[in-house]
């Protein structure tokens, strides 16, 4: 939406520059062409349009795209900053055992998060304490503190979104 507004604004600026140049050149007819002031105004208007459209707009698009790309998922959930960190940690620590379409992970050792929707607290508890009192397939203390909370928030946000009928 911001990009669309910037494009419209750039074209409005270009239109205003053309109208000003046209009106200035009509008021001061000259057999040799437009006046020196009109020529400077035209050059300035063209320079502004080139800078805004040619340089400014691509920079804004790159900045805007990088921010949304970091927070979007294949299952259509937009992540918070903490959940985006959790996604990276999940890929590094959890994707070898758990299936989760939002992380493009397919594994069979641990529970398939595409078929279930565990609450954030349960996920954090499993990360901190493991399962089967830490003696099962999932060891205790894989992550701690804020890292455990971020992964738990990420899994709770995206789990179950890949399976039909389980969407929020």
Q: Which tokens sit at 71? A: 């927070």
8 A C-beta contact, residue 125 and residue 138: no
Residue 46 near residue 81 (C-beta atoms within 8 A): no
Say how far apart CA 26 and CA 20 lie, in whole Å: 10
CA distances from 83 to 6, 42, 122, 144 (A): 30, 50, 16, 15
Using CA atoms, how far apart are residues 6 and 53, in angstroms rounded to an integer? 9
Mean pLDDT computed over 76-102: 89
Instruction: For residue 94, give the nearest of 135, 139, 45, 125 by alpha carbon.
Output: 139
The pLDDT of residue 13 is 74
pLDDT band (50, 70, 90) for residue 33: low
pLDDT confidence tier of residue 16, bands split at 50, 70 and 90: confident
pLDDT of residue 34: 61
- Distance set, CA 28 to CA 6, 37, 101, 103, 154 (Å): 33, 10, 67, 66, 66
């Amino acid at each position: 939406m911001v990009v669309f507004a910037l494009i419209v604004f750039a074209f409005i600026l270009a239109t205003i520059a053309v109208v000003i140049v046209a009106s200035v050149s009509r008021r001061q007819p000259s057999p040799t062409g437009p006046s020196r002031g009109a020529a400077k105004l035209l050059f300035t208007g063209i320079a502004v349009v080139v800078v805004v459209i040619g340089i400014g707009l691509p920079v804004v698009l790159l900045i805007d795209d990088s921010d949304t790309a970091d927070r979007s998922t294949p299952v259509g959930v937009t992540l918070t900053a903490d959940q985006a960190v959790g996604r990276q940690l999940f890929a590094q620590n959890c994707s070898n055992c758990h299936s989760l379409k939002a992380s493009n992970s397919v594994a069979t050792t641990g529970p398939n998060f595409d078929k279930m929707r565990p609450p954030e607290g349960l996920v954090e508890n499993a990360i901190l304490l493991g399962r089967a009192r830490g003696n099962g397939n999932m060891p205790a203390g894989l992550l701690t503190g804020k890292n455990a909370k971020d992964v738990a928030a990420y899994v709770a946000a995206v789990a179950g979104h890949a399976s039909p009928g389980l969407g929020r």
